Chains A and B, each alone.
Chain A
Amino acid sequence: MTGYVLRRLLMTIPTLLLVSLAVFVLVRLIPGDPVSLMFGDGGTPEQIARGRAALGLDQPVFVQFWRWLTRIAVGDFGNTITDGQAVLPLILERFQVSASVVLVSVAMAAVVGVTIGIIAAWKQDSKLDVGIVGLTTVILSIPTFWLGLLLLLLFGLKLGWLPVIGYVPISEEPWKAMLFLLLPVATLTLHESGVVTRMARASDIEVLRLEYITHARAKGLSEARVLARHVLPNAFAPTWTLIGLILGNLLGGIAVLETVFTLPGLGRLLADGVFARDYPVVQGCLLFTALLYVIVNLVVDLFYPLFDPRVSAE
C-alpha cells in the first residue's frame, strides 16, 4: 500500500508539470494584459511598456515560464499584480473559506442524497419515487447562482432571518460565521444532494435486483436490515466515486456562489484574477486546484476497496 501511495504521489509530479505548462500558456493566450487594464482608456505606450517591463511581461514566454516554475518548485507562487500580496498565503486563506462551505455541503449532500436515494430505490416507481426523481431533476436544472439568489431573497430579504451579505471567519465569531455560511451551504447542499440522490438511487436499484437481496429477504431479514447491511454497502462505491469528483470539482472553486454571497473564497479569487489578468493569481489558483483534484482522487481511490473489496488499491 505504501508503495502504491508513493507511486501515485510521484505520478502527480509530471501531471502537475503538464498542468502548469498548460495553465501558463492558456492564461497568456487570453487577450488583454494587466498593465493595459491598469491604465484603462489612458496610458501612453511608454507607460504601458514600462509597466510590462516592471512585471517581467516583456520577456519571452518561455523565460517567464521558467522563472515561475523555478519559484514554484521552492513554494514561491509569486506576488499578485494588483496589490503585491504573496499568492500562496492568499490562496490558502481563501481556500479555507471555500473548503468550509464545500466540505460541509458535500458531507450533508452525501448523507441526504444517499438516504433519499435508497428510499427512492426501495420504493421504485411509487409516487414517492416519482416525486423524488422529479424534485431532484428540478433541483439539478436550477443553476446554483439562481438557487442561491432565490434563497437569499427569501430568507435574507423577505423573511429577514439570515444576513444577505458578509463573512466572518469561524475562528473569530463561530455563531456569526455560521449565520453567514448557512445560505451558501444550504444552496450547495440542495444542489449536490440532487446529483448524489440520482446516483445513489440508480446504484441501489441495480443492487436491489440481485439474487442475494432476494435471498436476504427470504431469510426473513427486515427491510431496514436488508437495505442497511446488504444494499447500501454494495451500492455505495459508484456514489463514493461521484462524491470524490464533486468534492474535487467544488474545492477548486465555487466562484459563482461566492460572488452571490460575497464570500472571499478561492473561486472568487480566481474569477477576480481572470478579470484583472492577474497572472500569478490565476496560475497559482489553477495549479492549486489541480493539486487538490489529484489529492482528492488519490484519497477516493485509496478508500474505494473499503466499499468494493473486488477492487484492490494496488
Chain B
Amino acid sequence: MDNLLNASIRKHLLGASLLAASALALAPAAQAQPAPGGGTLRSMINADLRSTDPGVNRDLNSDAITMHMLEGLVAYRENLTVGPMLAQKVDLSADGTTYTFTLRDGLTFHNGKPLTSDDVLFAWKRYLDPATQWRCLSEFDGKGSAKVVDMQAPDPKTFVIRIEKPSALFLGQMARIDCGGSAIYHRDSIGADGKWATPIGTGPYMWSEWRRGQSVDLVRFPGYKSLDGKPDGLTGGKAAIAEKVRFIIIPESASAKAALYSGAIDVRPDFAARDLDEVKGRADIRTGTHPTMETNGILFQVNEPIVKDVRIRRAISMAINREELVDTVTFGLTRPANSMVPLASPYSGPVQKAEWKRDIPGAKKLLAEAGYRGEPIKMIVTKRFMSLFDGAVFVQSMAKEAGINIELEVLEWAAQLDLYGKGTYQSMFFSFSARLDAALSYEMIAGPKATQTRKVWNDPAAEALISQAMVISDVAKRQALFDQLHAKFMEELPMIPLWNSVDIAAWRSNVTGYTTWAASMPRLWNVTIK
C-alpha cells in the first residue's frame, strides 16, 4: 500500500492521518451502481428527526438519516479507520499541516449540479462559522485537536485545508458521525433566509418527505456514483437498492417489536438484547450483533465528599463482580471492558485488557483505612437505557456485600445530562457515545475542571499524555502512551469502566444485506428487500 504513496509525504504522515491518507491515495475510481431493486425498505427510529443539518441540532436518529443523503470528503470504514469518500486522494504536506484533497471525478449533487471544490469550501466555511452551531467546531477552531487557519479551492477538483500544527486526529475528526461526517452539501441546501432548508448532498438517497411525528422518506438518487469495491462502513461500494427507504417513528419498544413481527417494518435497529432469545426460534426474523465503542461505567466527581478518597472509589471497583454483571446486563453478548480504551479499539492491548478481580476483603480493608462507616454514596442513573439501570442495581447490591452504602437516584435522561454537564453529583452510571480514537476516549473525561465542569479527571500530567497522543504518529509510541494513561487512570480511578455496548439489530427474513457494526448506525444502502 505504502509504495504507492509519494515518498516525501510518506515521511511525514502522522498517526491516524497516515492510515487514512494512505487509503485515500489508493482510492479507486468510481463504478456504476449495481442494478437497483424495487420496493420500500422500512426501518424505524425511536424519536422524530431533529434536523437534517449535518452535525447541527442532531441526535443519533438524525445522524442515521442524514448519512444516507450526505457524504464527506472522508468517512469511517467498517474497522473504524478513515477511508475515502468524496475525495479520491489526499496529500499531506511535509510539515504535516496542509491537507490537499482531490475530488473524485463525475460526482453530482442530488439537484444534478456537479460537485466542485467551491462547494467544499462553501460547506466548510459554514461549518467554521460559530453562527452555524456545528457540534464539532471546537475540534477545528483551536480549542480541541486542531485549528484550521486557511482553506482554499485553487481549482475545481482541489480543496486545500491548512491547520496550525500537525494533528493525528484531523481526518478522524472530519469523519465523525456526530459531526455529520463534515458532509459536503450544495449551497441550495441553505434557504434564502440563510437557514438550513433541504439537504442536497451526494449520497445514495435523496430527501423526499417528512411527515412530522410519523416518518421520514428518502428516495433513490439515480445519479449516485459509488466507490468501487465492497461495502465498507460509511464508505466503499454503496448501492441504493431499495427504491425508497422509510424511517418510521416508533417511540414505544413493545410497539416496535410488534411492528417487526407483523411486518409493518422490515428492519429494527437498536433491538433489545433481552428479546434475542425470543426471536431465535422465529423463521421470519434474523438478528445481528456487533461490539461497539460506547463505554458504560461509573463516573465519580472526585471533589465530592466520600468519593474524593481514591480508596473509596477503588473499594467500589473491587466490590464489583464484572463478569457476572456484564454477562447479566448484556445477556452474554459481551465481556467486561476494563479500560477507557474500548475493546474494539486497535489500542486495546494486554495492559488495557488486564482483568479486575473481585476482592471483597481487599475492598473492606480499603474502606477501613479510609474511615468509611457506611455513609450513603448517591449514584445517579436513568431508566432511559435499561442496561445502565440494571447495571446500577447490580453494583449497588455487590457493593453492599463490601459494606458500601450506595443510594440510587433515578432521573430522567435530560436531568441526568444536566447534572453531568454541571458536574454536580457524587457518582453516576453513565454511557459515553463512541469515540473512535483512544485519545478521544480519554479526552472525554480528562480536562481542567475549572473551565469544563463535565470533566472528571483533572490531572495535567494525564492531559499532557493525551495531547501527545493526539499528535504523535507512530502506532507503537501511541500504544505506549495509552498504556501509561491506563496506569495513571487506574491509580486515580475517576471512572470505573464496565462494558462497551453492543449494536443489536433484527430484520425480517425477506431483507438481505443488512449488517450491524461498531459505529452502531443503521445503513440501508446495499440492502435488498424481496
Q: Give me the interface of A with B, judged by CB distance under 8 Å.
A: 30-33, 36-48, 50-51, 54, 82-85, 90, 94, 149, 152-153, 156-157, 160, 163-167, 259-262, 264, 268-269, 272, 275-277
The reply to whether B49 and A48 form a contact with Cβ atoms under 8 Å apart is no
Asked whether any CB of chain A lies closer than 8 Å to the CB of B414, the reply is yes
4 A-B pairs with the lowest CB-CB distances in the bound complex, closest first:
A264-B213, A32-B414, A32-B418, A31-B415
Asked whether any CB of chain A lies closer than 8 Å to the CB of B57, the reply is yes
Residues of B within 8 A of A84 (CB): 51, 195
Interface string of B433-459 (1 = CB under 8 A from A): 100000000001000000111100000
Closest to B60 in A: A40
Asked whether any CB of chain A lies closer than 8 Å to the CB of B9, the reply is no
Closest to B254 in A: A149
The reply to whether B255 and A260 form a contact with Cβ atoms under 8 Å apart is yes
Instruction: Give the residues from 387 to 446 in chain B that come closer than 8 angstroms, CB to CB, to chain A.
Output: 411-421, 430, 432-433, 444
- Assuming the contacts A83-B57, A166-B264, asked whether A90 and B212 have C-beta atoms less than 8 A apart, the reply is yes
The reply to whether B213 and A269 form a contact with Cβ atoms under 8 Å apart is yes
The reply to whether A167 and B135 form a contact with Cβ atoms under 8 Å apart is no
Asked whether any CB of chain A lies closer than 8 Å to the CB of B258, the reply is yes
CA distance A43 to B206 in the complex (A): 29
Q: B453: which of A45, A50, A94, A261 is its contact (CB, 8 Å)?
A: A45
The reply to whether B49 and A83 form a contact with Cβ atoms under 8 Å apart is yes
- Assuming the contacts A36-B414, A37-B414, A167-B214, asked whether A153 and B433 have C-beta atoms less than 8 A apart, the reply is no
CA distance A256 to B48 in the complex (A): 16
CA distance A104 to B258 in the complex (A): 25
CA distance A167 to B417 in the complex (A): 33
Asked whether any CB of chain A lies closer than 8 Å to the CB of B208, the reply is no
- Assuming the contacts A30-B415, A32-B415, A156-B262, asked whether A165 and B255 have C-beta atoms less than 8 A apart, the reply is yes
Closest to A82 in B: B50
Closest to A271 in B: B251
The reply to whether B415 and A83 form a contact with Cβ atoms under 8 Å apart is no
Asked whether any CB of chain A lies closer than 8 Å to the CB of B47, the reply is yes
The reply to whether B135 and A83 form a contact with Cβ atoms under 8 Å apart is no
Q: A41: which of B58, B138, B212, B432 is its contact (CB, 8 Å)?
A: B432
Q: B452: which of A44, A82, A152, A163 is its contact (CB, 8 Å)?
A: A44
Closest to B178 in A: A42
Asked whether any CB of chain A lies closer than 8 Å to the CB of B469, the reply is no
Q: B255: which of A30, A39, A262, A276 is its contact (CB, 8 Å)?
A: A262
Closest to B133 in A: A51
CA distance A85 to B210 in the complex (A): 13
Q: Give, as a whole number of angstroms, the nearest-CB distance from B437 to chain A.
A: 14
The reply to whether B133 and A54 form a contact with Cβ atoms under 8 Å apart is yes
The reply to whether B418 and A152 form a contact with Cβ atoms under 8 Å apart is no
Residues of B within 8 A of A30 (CB): 414-415
Residues of B within 8 A of A82 (CB): 48, 50-51, 57
Interface string of B101-131 (1 = CB under 8 A from A): 0000000000000000000000000000010
Most buried by B among A30, A32, A82: A32
- Assuming the contacts A30-B415, A41-B432, A157-B262, asked whether A94 and B213 have C-beta atoms less than 8 A apart, the reply is yes
The reply to whether B433 and A45 form a contact with Cβ atoms under 8 Å apart is no
The reply to whether A50 and B130 form a contact with Cβ atoms under 8 Å apart is yes
Residues of A within 8 A of B178 (CB): 40, 42
The reply to whether A31 and B419 form a contact with Cβ atoms under 8 Å apart is yes
Residues of A within 8 A of B212 (CB): 83, 85, 90, 264
Q: A164: which of B213, B259, B415, B417 is its contact (CB, 8 Å)?
A: B259
Residues of A within 8 A of B307 (CB): none
Asked whether any CB of chain A lies closer than 8 Å to the CB of B248, the reply is yes
Closest to B48 in A: A272
CA distance A194 to B138 in the complex (A): 58
Q: Give, as a whole number of angstroms, the nearest-CB distance from A12 to chain B.
A: 29
Most buried by B among A83, A276, A277: A83
Q: B252: which of A163, A166, A259 is its contact (CB, 8 Å)?
A: A259
CA distance A260 to B412 in the complex (A): 20
Asked whether any CB of chain A lies closer than 8 Å to the CB of B372, the reply is no
Asked whether any CB of chain A lies closer than 8 Å to the CB of B331, the reply is no
CA distance A264 to B213 in the complex (A): 5
The reply to whether B418 and A46 form a contact with Cβ atoms under 8 Å apart is no
Q: Give, as a whole number of angstroms, the nearest-CB distance from A56 to chain B.
A: 14
Instruction: Give the residues from 224 to 266 in chain B that come closer than 8 angstroms, CB to CB, to chain A.
Output: 248-252, 254-255, 258-259, 261-262, 264-265
Asked whether any CB of chain A lies closer than 8 Å to the CB of B143, the reply is yes
Residues of A within 8 A of B420 (CB): 41
- Assuming the contacts A30-B415, A40-B417, A275-B414, asked whether A262 and B452 have C-beta atoms less than 8 A apart, the reply is no
